Amino acid sequence: MKIAIASGKGGTGKTLVSVNLAYLWSEIYNTKTVLVDLDVEEPNDHVFFQEKISSSTEVFRPVPNFIKERCIFCSKCHDVCRFNAITMFPDTVIVSPELCHSCYACAELCPSNALIMTHKKNGVIRNYGKDNVLLYDGLLDVGEASAVPLITELKSQVLSKHNNSVDYFFDSPPGTSCPMIESIRDVDFVILVAEPTPFGIHDMDLAIQTVQLSDTPLGVVINKDNENSQKIYEKCKEYNVPILAAIPHKREIASFLANGGLAIRKFDEIKISLTQLVEELKIRINNN
Amino acid sequence: MKELVVLSGKGGTGKTSVSGALAYLLGKNALLGDCDVDASNLHLVTGAKNTISEDFFSGCIAEINNLKCTNCGRCANICRFNAIEYINNTYVINPMHCEGCGYCYEICPKEAIILNPGHTGYLKVSETRFGSTLVHASLNIGAENSGKLVSRVREKLNQIADDSNANLIITDGSPGIGCPVIATITGASHILIVTEPGMSALHDMERLIKLAQAFKISVSCIINKYDIENDLTKNIEEYLKQNNIPLWGKLPYNDVFRIAVSDLKTAPELNHELINKEFKKIVEFVKNTLL
C-alpha cells in the first residue's frame, strides 16, 4: 500500500505528518513501513528520523554524449530536440545537459549513432534505519534544474527493493507542478496537509484539483487547527473531500519541531490526531 | 533597475509575509512580482484587482489520432515518461505525464500523432491596494514548465520596469532550489532569504546559499520566529557571520502575523510597535543595498 503526503503550500506540516505516521502505522499494525522523502530539492525527513544514515549511492540521469567522428552533420538531432539542448555548429554539435529532458529522441533517431546516452550524476539516494521503519531520501545536486528524474528513480529503486511486502509513505515536495505530480503518481491514497489561513486554503484548493485529475482517492489533514478551520471544512465539502484529522497548534510544538525529533513521543494530542488518521486511512483504503 | 528576490529553501518560513510587508511599506515605489506560479499567494495579501490576464503557451502536448493509429505500439515503447497507455484496445496519451518531447511524433509510421501547443497557464498584471503593480501567474492544474512561466513573469516585470522607469522590483519566490527557483534568480540583483530557527530551515537555507553562490548573486537574511528556539537562532547568526551574509532583521513569533494573514493584511498594517520598527529597519537595508 502506498500513501502520499502532499500540500500545495510549503511548510504546512507534511514532514511532521509523514515521519510520525510512518512510525505510528508500524507500531499499530506491527508491520514494516518505508518512508520515502521525495522532496529531493529540500529533504528534511532525516532531521526527524530516529536512525542514522546507513548508506548513500549516487544517481544519474541519461544525457547524450556526442561522438564527433561518427557525425554526418545531418542536423536530425538538432531538429528533433524540442528543448534546445542541441546546438549545431558547422564542425561540431554541442549538447547542453541542463536543458536535456532525457527523452532519447536525438540518440535513437541519429542515423549514424553519433549521440550515445551516457549518465550524468544528478544527486544521491540515501537510506536510514534497519528495523521496522526505514527512510529513503533523495538529495538533488545543487544547480540541477529538474527534480523529476531523481524522484522517479528514487521511487522506482525503493519499490523494486521492497515490493508489496511493506507499506509506503511518500513525503512529497510542496506545490502542484511536475515534482508533486510525479510524487503522487500511482499511489493508493493522497493525504493533503492544510493549514487554516487564506494562503493555506488557496493552495489546498489547487492541490485538491491536481490530485483529482487522477482517480486517486484523497483526504485532508488540518494542521495548526484553530477557529478558522471551518473554512477548510467548507472548501472540502465543495469538492467532496473528507477531513481525516486535525492537529492542534501550540508554540511548544513549534519549538520542539525546530530541533527535530518524533512529536508523537512528546505530545499526546499529536499522537491522538494521528491515531485517528491511521483509523480513517484503514477504512478508506480498504473501501477502495 | 534592481530586483530583490525573496526566497527560503524550505516552505512556510514566511516569504510571502515578508514580501507583502515590503510591498506595503514601499508602496508605489516598488514593482511587485510573484514567481511562485504553482501556489501563488502574494495577490491575496496585496489585494490584487483589475487583473489583466494573458494566455501562456509553452511546449507541446502529444495526442493520438485514433483514426490513423494502427496500434503498432512504437510510441508507447519509446516514451521515457510512461505517458502512453494501452487502454481498451487503443493507445492514449496522458497529458499529465507527457513531457512534450515529440519523440512519439517523430517515430510514428502513420503520422497519427499530433503535437498541440501546450496552454500551460496565465500571466497576470494587477493593481495592488498600495498603488503598485503586481505581475503574477497561475500555472494550469497539472501543467508542465513552471520554470518557463516564471521566466515570462520576470520578462514582463522588466518590460513594465522599463516603461515606467521603476527602479526597484520585489519578487516573491517559491520553495525549493529547482527549476522555478533557478528561473527566478537568473539575472536578479540580490536574494533575501527568510529563514527560521529549525534544523530543516537551516539545512534548506545552506543549499539555497550554495545555489546563489553558483549564480554569483549576493544574499542577505531575515530570521523569522527567531524566539521559538533562541539557541538555534544563535547558530544561524553564527553561520551568517562566518559566511559574510548580512542579517537584515529578526522577527518574533507573534500572533500579529497569523492575524494579518487571516485578514489578508500585511503585518505592518497591524501597527505592532516592535515588529514595525524591525520592518522599517529591513526597508532601510533594502534601499541601501539595492538603490
* Statement: residue B145 has pLDDT above 80: no
- Is A278 domain-assigned? yes
Q: What is the CATH number of the domain that holds A233?
A: 3.40.50.300
- Is A208 domain-assigned? yes
User: Where in A115-235 does DSSP place strands (E)?
Assistant: 115-128, 133-140, 167-171, 189-194, 218-225
Instruction: Report the pLDDT value the prediction gives residue A50, as an integer from 0 to 100.
Output: 83
Interchain CB distance below 8 Å, B200 and A41 = no
Contacts of range A65-70, beta carbons closer than 8 Å, 24 or more positions apart: A65/A95, A65/A115, A65/A116, A65/A117, A65/A118, A66/A92, A66/A93, A66/A94, A66/A95, A66/A114, A66/A115, A67/A113, A67/A114, A67/A115, A67/A116, A68/A92, A68/A93, A68/A114, A70/A112, A70/A113, A70/A114
Cell of A28: 499499530
Determine the structural domain holding residue A96 and report its residue range. 68-113
Residue A59 three-state SS: strand
- Is A118 domain-assigned? no
Question: Measured between CB atoms, does B176 come within 8 Å of chain A?
Answer: yes
A202 in the same domain as A176: yes
Q: Which domains does chain B have, with CATH numbers?
A: 2-47+128-290 (3.40.50.300), 59-119 (3.30.70.20)
Q: Averaged over A39-52, what is the pLDDT?
A: 94
A97 in the same domain as A14: no
A246 in the same domain as A264: yes
Task: For residue A185, give how far its alpha carbon lies from the nearest alpha carbon of chain B (Å).
Answer: 9
Q: Averaged over A161-186, what is the pLDDT?
A: 96
Q: Give how far the C-alpha of residue B11 lies from the chain's centroid of Cα atoms, to the nearest Å.
A: 11
Instruction: Report the pLDDT value the prediction gives residue B259, as an integer from 0 to 100.
Output: 96
A138 in the same domain as A105: no
A212 in the same domain as A104: no
Overall number of domains in chain A: 2
* Statement: residue A286 has pLDDT above 80: no
Q: Count Cα atoms within 13 angstroms, Cβ side, for A252.
A: 7
- Is A129 domain-assigned? yes
Interchain CB distance below 8 Å, B41 and A257 = no
Q: Averaged over B215-242, what is the pLDDT?
A: 97
Q: Which of B36, B179, B203 sits opposite A47 (nearest CB)?
A: B203
ipTM over cut 0.90: yes
Interchain CB distance below 8 Å, A254 and B228 = yes
Question: What's the pLDDT tens digit per position in B172-209?
Answer: 999 999 999 999 999 999 999 999 999 999 999 999 99
Instruction: Report the pLDDT value the prediction gives residue A4, as an integer from 0 to 100.
Output: 98
A139 in the same domain as A177: yes
Question: What's the pLDDT tens digit per position in A106-160?
Answer: 999 999 999 999 999 999 999 999 889 999 999 999 999 999 999 999 999 999 9
H or E element at residue A58: strand A53-66
* Statement: residue B215 has pLDDT above 90: yes
* Statement: residue A193 has pLDDT above 80: yes
H or E element at residue B219: strand B218-223
User: d(Cα B202, Cα A258) in Å, to the nearest integer?
Assistant: 10
* Statement: residue A288 has pLDDT above 70: no
A237 in the same domain as A175: yes
- Is A53 domain-assigned? yes
Q: Averaged over A55-77, what is the pLDDT?
A: 97
Residue whose C-alpha is closest to residue B230's, from B193, B254, B198: B198
Query: What does pTM read for this prediction?
Result: 0.94
Interchain CB distance below 8 Å, A144 and B178 = yes
Beta strands B113-127 and B49-64, pairing class: antiparallel
Residue finishing a domain among A113, A144, A176: A113
Looking at every residue in chain A, the average pLDDT score rounds to 96
Question: Measured between CB atoms, does A112 come within 8 Å of chain B?
Answer: no
Q: What are the Cα distances from residue A89, in Å, to A7, A71, A99, A105, A240? A: 46, 12, 18, 19, 56
Question: What's the pLDDT tens digit per position in A242-263?
Answer: 999 999 999 999 999 999 999 9
Interchain CB distance below 8 Å, B60 and A10 = no
* Statement: residue B78 has pLDDT above 90: yes
- Is A172 domain-assigned? yes
Q: What is the DSSP letter of B39?
A: S
Which residues of chain A does B38 touch, with a Cβ-Cβ cutoff of 8 Å?
175-177, 180, 206
Backbone angles phi, psi at B167, to 5 degrees: -115, 0
